[in-house]
Amino acid sequence: MSRSAHPAGPRHADVWPEGHYSAPPADVNALDPKVWAQTVTRTDTGEVSVGGIGVAALAEEFGTPAYFVDETDFRARARAWRTAFGHDADVFYAGKAFLSRAIVRWLHEEGLNLDVCSGGELTTVLSAGMPADRIAFHGNNKSTDEITQAIEAGVGRIVLDSFQEIVRVAHIAQSLGTRQRVQIRVTVGVEAHTHEFIATAHEDQKFGIALADGQAAEAVRRALTLDGLELIGIHSHIGSQIFDMAGFEVAARRVVALLAAVRDEHGVELPEIDLGGGLGIAYTSDDDPREPHEIAKALGEIVTRECEAARLRTPRISVEPGRAIVGPTAFTLYEVGTIKPLEGLRTYVSVDGGMSDNIRTALYDAEYSVALVSRTSDAEPMLVRVVGKHCESGDIVVKDAFLPSDLAPGDLIAVPATGAYCRSMASNYNHALRPPVVAVRDGEARVIVRRETEEDLLRLDVG
């Protein structure tokens, strides 16, 4: 992401150091709808509200830090994906982005399927009433117990990730007297333009079976011979937080080429392909994500074209968006604790959470936005770094952003676009208590994941 190193205007040029930040915003009180959930707005008093409820009341009732999910926005995004892909395709929400039983019920009601990648996620999804045949089970090292649990539950598909797993799943299915529907996950060999830790289609990484050296074709050969397996398709997931459709198009082309090779070799036309998740969202105003209908159109066209060229029936397509559905729908609300201006550098604003509720900045060098939400301010913007309360200097929530220079302890600030991979990757570092997730809709707020308590911590400590 390219961001200007220097803010505009001579007044600032010698004040602000080199950094990733853009120029100070024209209006530090403005809320860019690109990064804030749909119903987030400033009320007449200057306070921010979501779902019709002001943040001061939310902080009062639920405490801080806390994640607030805009249910209206979540459902609208889920529906937009469902509608964009239509009846000839399936949308599997990737539960790893954020999972709770309320979320599963919303997805069920909106007609989406779900992808899980552990026994814990599977149990959660099943316990919320999602029909098993609408669940896909992923993972590069599923345990025997997890595979057994998934097959016994009757999941719609297991995505096979290695040669050992092909045999393992076939064996367990057979011993349970069933045939499991499976896909084979292939690595298509594209370099997705994203952080190295979240790119998954280049060859030198742990996921999938490589297309390039004939391994994927060999995996298909083996899967087709095993009685416990019903091979229904090929799966590819190229990475996460990707804006450029080119990688998906190359992946689609290569997956269809494999389908054609399978048809030529075995006389079998596999009926499904899954192109994974990974679509990027706006974390700052500099990001320009694609809309679901554009993505559906681009993927549909490429698959249809390639299949026509190879004289294949067009397979049923599925996709697995996680971040693109839940990411933009939530923000994290913090209370400002201490403020330290460092002369010639920047001002450090410490909040009551940190890397335990958002590890993404430390882990991926992720960019975030932030706003003062308990009031507006006419003060000059100041360059800040929002940091947490943990015992390390890498405990950064927002690297570089602008907040009003009259910011004071007790003010509420919020970081938008924290719906994905924040609560789901939250930790108890320094014995922090993981924050609650509160769903807000039409003037009502309810806890869907409660705040951890010290009793929760002590319950696990049995020594």
Phi, psi (rounded to 5 degrees) for 54: -70, 150
Total site size for ligand LLP, rule CB under 6 A:
23
Considering only 320, 367, 395, 411, the residue that binds ligand LLP (CB under 6 A) is: 320
CB of 361 to ligand LLP, least distance (A): 10
Q: Is 77 in the site for ligand LLP (CB under 6 A)?
A: no
Considering only 323, 389, 399, 423, the residue that binds ligand LLP (CB under 6 A) is: 323
CB 19 within 8 A of CB 345: no
Considering only 276, 315, 328, 416, the residue that binds ligand LLP (CB under 6 A) is: 276
CA distance 385 to 396: 7
Considering 117, 307, 391, 422, which one is annotated as catalytic?
A: 391
Q: Is 97 in the site for ligand LLP (CB under 6 A)?
A: yes
Q: Is 277 in the site for ligand LLP (CB under 6 A)?
A: yes
Residue number, 93 or 402, with CB nearest to ligand LLP: 93
Residue 246 identity: A
> Looking at 103-111, 149-157, 243-251, 270-278, which segment touches ligand LLP (CB under 6 A)?
270-278
Instruction: Count CB-CB contacts under 10 A for residue 343.
Output: 6
Structural element, H or E, at residue 183 = strand 180-187
Burial class (CB in 10 A: 0-12, 13-18, 19+), 310: middle
Q: Comparing C-alpha atoms, which of 203, 142, 196, 202 is closest to residue 169?
A: 142
Q: Is 201 in the site for ligand LLP (CB under 6 A)?
A: no
Whether 391 is catalytic is yes
The DSSP bridge partners found for residue 316 are 272
Tokens 């079998």 belong to which residue? 268
CB of 276 to ligand LLP, least distance (A): 5
Q: Name which of residues 364 to 403 contact ligand LLP (CB under 6 A).
A: 364
Q: Structure tokens of 48?
A: 């921010």
CB of 70 to ligand LLP, least distance (A): 18
Three-class SS of residue 169? helix
383: Cβ–Cβ under 8 A, 6 or more apart, which residues?
A: 7, 16, 19, 21, 24, 346, 347, 400, 401, 402
Q: Is 292 in the site for ligand LLP (CB under 6 A)?
A: no
CB of 192 to ligand LLP, least distance (A): 10
The DSSP bridge partners found for residue 441 are 444
Q: Structure tokens of 63?
A: 């405490």
Residue number, 247 or 277, with CB nearest to ligand LLP: 277
CB of 102 to ligand LLP, least distance (A): 19
Considering only 40, 188, 282, 324, the residue that binds ligand LLP (CB under 6 A) is: 324
CB of 93 to ligand LLP, least distance (A): 9
Considering only 34, 75, 82, 138, the residue that binds ligand LLP (CB under 6 A) is: 138
Q: Is 278 in the site for ligand LLP (CB under 6 A)?
A: yes
CB 319 within 8 A of CB 395: no
CA distance 346 to 209: 47
Q: Structure tokens of 125?
A: 């999804």
CB of 95 to ligand LLP, least distance (A): 9
Residue number, 254 or 323, with CB nearest to ligand LLP: 323
> Looking at 18-26, 91-99, 339-347, 438-446, which segment touches ligand LLP (CB under 6 A)?
91-99
208 to 247: interface string for ligand LLP, x by CB under 6 A: -----------------------------x--xx------
Q: Is 360 in the site for ligand LLP (CB under 6 A)?
A: yes
Structural element, H or E, at residue 444 = strand 444-449
Phi-psi label, residue 274: left if phi above 0, alpha if psi -120 to 50, beta otherwise: beta
Considering only 89, 94, 220, 307, the residue that binds ligand LLP (CB under 6 A) is: 94
CA distance 415 to 386: 10
Q: Is 321 in the site for ligand LLP (CB under 6 A)?
A: yes
Measured between its terminal Cα atoms, the distance across the chain in Å is 48
Q: Which residues bind ligand LLP (CB under 6 A)?
A: 94, 96-97, 115, 138, 198, 237, 240-241, 276-279, 320-324, 360, 364, 420-421, 425
Q: Which residues are the active-site residues?
A: 391
